[in-house]
Amino acid sequence: MINKVGIYEKAINNKFSIEQKIDIAKSAGYDFIEFSIDESDERFKRLDWDYEKLTSVKKILLDKNFEFNSMTLSTHRKYPFGSNDKKIRDKAKYIIENAIRVAKVLGIKIIQLATYDIYYENPHPDSLKYFLQGIKYASELAKKESIILAFETMDTHFGSTVTRCLNIIKSVNNPPFLYVYPDLGNLNQFSNDVETEIKYGANHIVAYHVKDTKPGIFRDIEFGQGTVDFVKSFKIIQETKFTGPFLIEMWSKNNENETLSEAINKIKSAKQFFLDKWNEAKSA
């Protein structure tokens, strides 16, 4: 296939260094790692990496002829743009400012945004208004640095489908550098018409997350054990002539005793599952 295939950073045991994670991903046949900035203290601190630290990581990528093509910026779940607390909204701005700065130095092309107006706090009437204000701010920063921002289809109703994500984009006047990055696992649970969703958003989709899910369970499902119809989904994507990247989303159990070879084999098997379903879709 001509599409690049990447692996989610959190699919690789957290005990391994960035350099080791790159070696593991390359050995398993992946084209890139999706860099993670999440709610954990360790990964949140990456927003504060100085230029020296960032260039040292970039040097590792260059030396190994590898890339972080994209970033999952899931920490906005904890600090959402739509919060009723101005301090949290300001934190959300700080997050996107620094995420774009980090992406620029590391050569990351796409930042996947968590499409939540709010998550942990109680609903309030201004959440959508504040969220849209935050997205407008983020899209201006992205335009300045030529970094793509892309909404993930999420595990809650607010941003659960391509249509809902596109409606958000329209609400902020369709700015450049703002797109959709569907999670096929989430989309298959929230939409009864995946074909319409994918084809409707085809010109606005920059990448796909590949993940298995079950009704009400959105992570840690082994590939083939969930209810996602991958062959059907891939067939639809193939019909749209999509040439962008796919990202295999899975989570390591972070077993301290896991070896390098075990880590490689785990994500290698996941890629093979993806390729088998992709090829099955081509011949369907």
pLDDT tens over the chain, length 284 residues: 899 999 999 999 999 999 999 999 999 999 999 999 999 999 999 999 999 999 999 999 999 999 999 999 999 999 999 999 999 999 999 999 999 999 999 999 999 999 999 999 999 999 999 999 999 999 999 999 999 999 999 999 999 999 999 999 999 999 999 999 999 999 999 999 999 999 999 999 999 999 999 999 999 999 999 999 999 999 999 999 999 999 999 999 999 999 999 999 999 999 999 999 999 999 98
Cα distances (angstroms) measured from residue 162 to each of 43, 134, 198, 241, 258: 28, 20, 7, 17, 37
At residue 1, the pLDDT reads 80
Rounded to 5°, angle at Cα 111 from 121 and 188: 70
The answer to whether the CB of 284 falls within 8 A of the CB of 43 is: no
Kind of pairing between the strands at 246-248 and 208-210: parallel
Put residue 149 in one of left, alpha, beta given phi > 0 → left and psi -120 to 50 → alpha.
Answer: beta
Is the CATH number of domain 5-283 3.30.420.40? no
pLDDT at site 145 = 97
pTM across the whole model = 0.97
